[in-house]
Amino acid sequence: DKFGVKKALTELGILNLNNGASTGANWIKTGGQEISSYSPVDGQLIAKVNAATDSDYHKIIDEAQTAFRYWRTVPAPKRGEIVRQIGDGLRANKENLGKLVSYEMGKSYQEGLGEVQEMIDICDFAVGLSRQLYGLTMHSERPSHRMYEQYHPLGIVGIISAFNFPVAVWSWNAMLAWVCGDVCLWKPSEKTPISAIACQHIVQKIFTQNNIPEGVSNLIIGDYTIGELLANDQRIPLVSATGSTRMGKAVGQAVGARLGRALLELGGNNAVIIGQGADLEISIRAALFGAVGTAGQRCTTTRRLIIHESVYEKVKEKLAAAYGQLKIGNPLDENNHVGPLIDTQAVKQYLQALDKISEEGGRAVVAGEVLNGPDYGSGCYVKPAIYEVESHFEIVQHETFAPILYLMKFKDIEEAVAIQNNVPQGLSSAIMTNDVRESELFLSSAGSDCGIANVNIGTSGAEIGGAFGGEKETGGGRESGSDAWKAYMRRQTNTINYGRELPLAQGIKFDI
Ligand code: UN1
């Protein structure tokens, strides 16, 4: 147990699992198909769980509905106090949970810790928010009338999360939803179920200690069929889904057909524009972390570099040199920069993309390949690659969830912005420049069409304080900071007449 994984699993209490669903502390003996979680780090089995069945699902929804009737009556700051304790629970388990995330997902231990830190941060944010769920007060046009708006809890929030941030993205949703008075039903990726079970253990302990009834935090392990149940279920007013555009379209359509709310955070195809006078030192560092961090498996990963022709060759050279220094291997070993892809299916997709690039005429700056050898036994390790392409290539329009970086040239800034915007996705974007005309154009209404637009920092690694999400095929949803909480509540406009007359609005007369 060189990297302490066994110890972490033991301390998190998740060895010998066989239950794939829980309503709070109440683990249900699920009878669905067996899901085995293998680590992409070394190919070893971490644990097996049985997926939930239809009837397990309905049992959980019943519990959740009952719990909601209680939870919505708890004052919001008191709900915040529970979330504060959850933050402390996460602090106490940070190293173990970070290690498990790293081992089950394959991101570096540093990034695993960073992911748990994001969870702690969103807890703190939500605690403050629990005293700030503000509505406006409006002046009525009628005498002796008062108007205001208030926000009420919605009910059950369904959370569908992806393998690449197996725990943080759930927490962005769950912590806000809980202070808002909602109860949560979480369907994690079936590629990372164990990290989700570990979170449920941490959280349910705190709910139990505070005598909160079961069913405020619900977990359900299963494949897309569970996602379909959630999406079609009238009893779930909000479904928040993070993942591929294909999944998001299916969820969005099903939720839309019943006029429920969908909060979608889907694929990105994020670009960094490197201007003529950019600081190349920070440009290269930003591009490098953005492109190869998490082995290219963030929705905010830098996939395209749009480089001014005057600095193009220099950037290409420096990047190739930096890629030459990258250490690829076990992500729990802090000497390595890049870990594995999530599974061999992802490796297949990486290889298909490489084929497509050469078919369309792309030229390798750093050629991609699958790595073999004793350190790469899981078959999930690939070499981060750089290709020179034309922006109109079909493959460049797609998000390939792997470390493949595309280089393109531009002459003037308007052209760069057009290239940046000319993809179906609209999540994150960045410009590296010291020219105020370039940066202001990029941030203007005629500039980047993305939900996130940065100057002199890369496309990934957003802070939790801002609203996170994007436009177009990214789905339009906003999670995490700013006023993203409003998606988790229903707004009610209230008009109160404290006079003895009944004046109608718009001055309408209706006397008998
Ligand atoms: C994701 O990849 O789904 O901006 C989320 C970032 C992270 C979140 C990524 N804070 O890279």
Tell me which residue has its CA closest to atom 1 in ligand 1: 299
pLDDT recorded at residue 511: 87
The 10s digit of each residue's pLDDT in 407-457 is 999 999 999 999 999 999 999 999 999 999 999 999 999 999 999 999 999
Ligand 1 pocket: which of 164, 299, 302, 425 to mutate (most atoms within 8 A of CB): 299
* Calpha distance 216→310 (Å, rounded): 57
The 10s digit of each residue's pLDDT in 365-421 is 999 999 999 999 999 999 999 999 999 999 999 999 999 999 999 999 999 999 999
* Calpha distance 457→393 (Å, rounded): 27
> Identity (one letter) of the amino acid at 290?
G
Ligand 1 atom nearest to CA at 300: 11
Indicate whether residue 164 lines ligand 1 (CB < 6 A). Answer: yes
Q: Which two tokens stand for residue 381?
A: 């390790």
pLDDT recorded at residue 219: 96
* Calpha distance 60→51 (Å, rounded): 13
Select which of 118, 190, 214, 265 is catalytic: 265
pLDDT recorded at residue 1: 84
Ligand 1 pocket: which of 460, 474, 478 to mutate (most atoms within 8 A of CB): 460
Cβ atoms < 10 Å from Cβ of 369: 12
pLDDT recorded at residue 177: 98
The four Cα atoms 456, 459, 462, 466 give a dihedral, to 10 degrees, of 80
Give the Å distance between the CA of 460 and the centre of ligand 1: 6
pLDDT recorded at residue 23: 72
Closest CA to 366 of 419, 338, 325: 325
Ligand 1 pocket: which of 300, 302, 479 to mutate (most atoms within 8 A of CB): 300
**Complex ipTM value:** 0.96
- Do you know the residue count of the chain? 512
Indicate whether residue 23 lines ligand 1 (CB < 6 A). Answer: no
Q: What are phi and psi of 495, to 5 degrees?
A: -120, 130
171-118-24 Cα angle (round to 5):
25
* Calpha distance 234→53 (Å, rounded): 19
Closest CA to 470 of 503, 423, 507, 512: 423
Q: Considering Cα of 6, then 8, then 14, then 20, what sign does the dihedral take?
A: negative
Indicate whether residue 302 lines ligand 1 (CB < 6 A). Answer: no
DSSP-assigned letters across all residues of 448-488: --SSEEEESS-SS---TTSEE--EETT-S--EESTTGGGGG
Indicate whether residue 90 lines ligand 1 (CB < 6 A). Answer: no
pLDDT recorded at residue 317: 98
Indicate whether residue 242 lines ligand 1 (CB < 6 A). Answer: yes
The reply to whether 265 belongs to the active site is: yes
pLDDT recorded at residue 103: 97
Residues of the chain with pLDDT below 50 are none
Tell me which residue has its CA closest to atom 3 in ligand 1: 299
Spatial contact of 245 and 400, defined as CB atoms under 8 Å apart: no
Indicate whether residue 299 lines ligand 1 (CB < 6 A). Answer: yes
pLDDT recorded at residue 24: 66
DSSP-assigned letters across all residues of 82-110: HHHHHHHHHHHTHHHHHHHHHHHH---HH
pLDDT recorded at residue 354: 98
Q: Considering Cα of 442, then 282, then 411, then 364, what sign does the dihedral take?
A: negative
